[in-house]
Amino acid sequence: MTLTQLRHFVGLAQAGSFAQAARLLFLTQPALSRSIQALEEELGAPLLDRLGRRIALTPLGHEVLDRARRLVSEADALKQVSQGLQAGLIGRLRMGLSSAPGVLLSQPLLGHMARRHPRLQVEISRGNTAVLIDALREQRLDAVVVDVRSVRPAADLRIDQVFELPAGFLVRPGHPLLRRRKALQFSDLLAYPVASTPLSDEVARLLMERYGTQANPDDCVTLRSDETHSLVEVARQSEVVVLTVCAAAPGLVPVPLQPAFSATGRFGMVTLARRSEAPALRIVREALPAWLPAGAGPTPVSTR
C-alpha cells in the first residue's frame, strides 16, 4: 500500500468515475485502474462496485476513504512543513550573541523575524564567548556571533561572515578627560574607573604593546561585565571610561589618546562544521549586512 495509491483512491471517490478521476489525476484510465486494483488486492476485498461508468463505494471503501483522506491530508501538511522549514519560514532558530553583537544585533534580528517570518520561533541567548561556544558544541544553539579573536581554532568549528568595528576608550560628553588641553596619555585614564567586557589575549597584547605594562587588562580594568549595554549605561551616568566598539555605545565620545588606540572589534558567525545548518540561518546570513553599521562588513573571511 502506498500513499500514491491512497491518493488515487481518494481522487476516484471524489470524482465518481474512472474517466473523470483519470483526467483530474493526470493518469490514463488503465493506469488508475491498476493502482486501485493493487490496493484492493492488498486489502483483500473490493473498495468499490463498478456500476457502468459510475462507481459506488463498498462498506470497506467508505472506511478506507475516511482513513485515506486523513493520511493524504497529513502527508500534504508534512510536505508543507518540510518546505517551510527548508525555506526558513517556520521552525526554530536558536542564536547566541556575545556582548557587543548582542547590543548591535538583538533588536534588528528580533524585529526582522517578527515582521517577515512571524511563524518562526526565535530564541536569543546572551553570554560570553566561551559559554556560547560550549552551548553550540552541545547543539543547544544553531549558531553564535562572537568575538572571533577569543575562539580557539578547532576542526569542528566554522567561522565566517567576519566583520570589524572600530573600538576605543569611550566617555560621556563633558567628561573631565575631554576638557584637558594637553595630549592625553594612557596613565591619565587610570585616574578613573576603566570598564570592559572580557578581552581576548590578542587585544591584551595590543594594549600592552601600545601603552606598556600599565595597560594590562588584568590590572587596569576595574569594572568587568559580559554585558556591554550595562557598562555603556554606567559610563553615560558617571566618569567611567569604557573600552568597547564605538557602534555599541552611541552618544559616547572616544578619548583622544597619544599614541592613538586604533583597535577594532572582530566578530563573526560560528557554526558546527559537520552539522547541517538550521534552514532559518540563511535568513540571518542574508540580512546581517543590513543590521551592521555602515562599512562594518561582513568581510569575505572564512576559516574552519
Taking alpha carbons only, the member of 285, 293, 284 closest to residue 265 is: 293
Q: Which domains does the chain have, with CATH numbers?
A: 3-87 (1.10.10.10), 92-164+267-303 (3.40.190.10), 165-265 (3.40.190.290)
Cis previous bond, 298, omega within 30: yes
What are the φ/ψ torsions at residue 5 (nearest 5 degrees)? -65, -40
What are the φ/ψ torsions at residue 137 (nearest 5 degrees)? -65, -30
- For residues 106, 110, 116 and 117, what is the CA-based torsion angle, rounded to 10 degrees? 120
Residues 12 and 36 sit within 8 Å (Cβ to Cβ): yes
| This prediction's pTM | 0.69
Taking alpha carbons only, the member of 47, 43, 45, 34 closest to residue 4 is: 34
Mean pLDDT by 10 residues, the chain (304 residues): 90 90 90 92 90 86 90 73 58 91 94 90 92 92 94 93 93 94 91 94 92 95 93 96 94 93 90 86 90 64 44
- How far does CA 176 lie from the centroid of its chain? 42
